[in-house]
């Protein structure tokens, strides 16, 4: 249960962070490649392309990272308990 909850937390935090990074990358893209601002094209490009992609990539990365960290923590905790029982 701990692994699932931490993976969900990683998903949410990763999605928020990835969306923010996606907006930053999109703004940089529009400045570097001089994207047309006619009828808000550059804004639509940033908020309908880069932000969702950043949120998806960040969410998956965050969920994976937090899930792996929680899984390894559980594995280490079990090993610690077993060494204590053998010492007694």
Mean pLDDT of the chain: 88
Taking Cα atoms as reference points, which of 73, 77, 80, 76 lies closest to residue 5?
A: 73
Give 17-54 pLDDT, tens digit per residue. Answer: 999 999 999 999 999 999 998 999 999 999 999 999 99
| Domain boundaries along the sequence of the chain | 12-81
Give the residue ranges of DSSP H helices in the chain.
Answer: 2-32, 41-45, 51-87
Taking Cα atoms as reference points, which of 48, 43, 50 lies closest to residue 21?
A: 50
With bands split at pLDDT 50, 70 and 90, how would you rate the model's confidence at 73?
confident
Instruction: Decide if pLDDT at 68 tops 60.
Output: yes
With bands split at pLDDT 50, 70 and 90, how would you rate the model's confidence at 70?
confident
Q: pTM for this one?
A: 0.78
How many Cβ atoms sit within 10 Å of the Cβ of residue 88?
A: 4
3-state secondary structure of 35: coil
């Amino acid at each position: 249960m701990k692994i699932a909850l931490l993976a969900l937390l990683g998903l949410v935090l990763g999605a928020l962070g990835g969306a923010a990074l996606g907006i930053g990358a999109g703004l940089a893209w529009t400045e570097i490649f001089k994207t047309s601002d006619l009828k808000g094209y550059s804004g639509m490009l940033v908020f309908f392309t880069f932000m969702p992609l950043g949120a998806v990539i960040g969410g998956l990365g965050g969920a994976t990272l937090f899930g792996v960290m929680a899984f390894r923590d559980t594995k280490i905790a079990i090993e610690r308990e077993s060494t204590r029982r053998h010492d007694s």
